[in-house]
Amino acid sequence: MKKILPASVMIAVFVAIFFLHSVNVSAQTRQEQPYVIEYYYKTKWGFTDEFLTLFKKNHLPVLKKQIESGRILSVKIEKPQFHSTEEGRWDFRVTIAFKSAAAFHEPSTEPAIIKQLYPDQERFKREEQRRFEILISHWDVPIVSVE
């Protein structure tokens, strides 16, 4: 019995160390993988074209600059082919793949990019205000893989 107890403790310690190591490796791997978020936009009826025009004019160039810097890997804009019920309706889905979860959580350089791209800050702010005025709702969905 005296020999079994120390062996059991050693096995338990080994299992705990192995488990903690595998959790740490798994978390580290997730940090290095792309971090994908889907952004959904639902506009007031009749305003989808105006929203998309403002999005492409004021927000998409900021996202493209972040692709150039390496923070973002890709940006994809999609819309449904047909409309659905009002409760489930969304007009645009913007899928952004960040380089990693760490890159997503780092302080953003968006304010500096916006100042660089849009010298007329008052106009930029008015147009962005308008873009959000014509929204009914907006939600973000971080996506994780299922094994």
What three-state secondary structure class fits 114?
A: helix
Cα 8–chain centre separation: 45
Tens digits of per-residue pLDDT, 71-120? 999 999 999 999 889 899 999 999 999 999 999 999 989 999 999 999 99
Q: In what order do the strands lie in the sheet with 135-143?
A: 72-78, 92-98, 35-43, 135-143
Residues of the chain with pLDDT > 90, as a percent, come to: 73
Is the model's pLDDT at 7 over the cut of 70?
no
pTM of the model: 0.77
Four-point Cα dihedral 38, 108, 33, 96, nearest 10: 20
The residue to which tokens 């409309």 are assigned? 83
Work out the pLDDT band at 4, boundaries 50, 70, 90.
Answer: low
